[in-house]
Chains A and B, each alone.
Chain A
């Protein structure tokens, strides 16, 4: 079974503090991992994907196949980072592989 686990439903930090949102997955193949962000009452937007190895809005995420993790990190959180963050997994391309498996989400609140 494919499963994405985000152990923290809620996470609060102060502005300027480091933040790490955890994501673990279970999949025996080579997954594609994503982080989506949803600001208040807006659509889900792709934040970053592991295949691009990019930094978006100061966030980074490294795929650790040994630990089956894809944690999202930012060294200095900002108030505008407050949002719901979803980790998602895809098994890749193909007619039965196109769907995304989402974690339950982590609500991040950054206090001033």
Chain B
């Protein structure tokens, strides 16, 4: 397995534009997480899914943010409209509810810059 795959790796967009971040979790994992990383706030959990169902979206900052998981192998995080304060690295992670531990595997992240 190639691990958690995120795209794009880098995104530069203008304020007001829609941004869509994509994630492919590890096959067989039933949890998917979206995190945001900034210098000021560290790693923040935005939302997570279990078996494609959103379980906790309390970390989603505003209605401008939305996330979907239409199937077990794909998830999107959308920001519409984007603002400069959304600039951050967005990580997707997946984990399995089975096995001995609940280790999360992270993607490479998407570095978003909103100008």
Contacts and interface: CB of A to CB of B under 8 A. Distances in A.
Report if A and B associate in a common complex: yes
Interface of A: 32, 34, 36, 42-46, 49, 51-52, 86, 88, 90, 92-105
Nearest to B89: A41
A51 B103 CA distance: 11
B101 A32 contact: yes
Interface in B33-87: 33, 35, 42-43, 45, 48, 50-51, 55-56
In terms of DSSP, what is the predominant structure of the interface of chain B? Answer: strand
B97 interface: yes
Interface string B82-115: 0000000001010101101111111111000000
Contacts of B31: 98-99
Contact of B95 (A98, A101, A103, A104): A98
Contacts of A99: 31, 33, 45, 48, 55-56
Contacts, number: 68
A103 to B, nearest CB: 8
Contacts of A88: 104
Nearest to A101: B45
A32 B102 contact: yes
A102 B103 contact: no
Contacts of A90: 101-102
Contacts of A52: 101
Contact of A86 (B43, B98, B102): B43
A36 B100 CA distance: 18
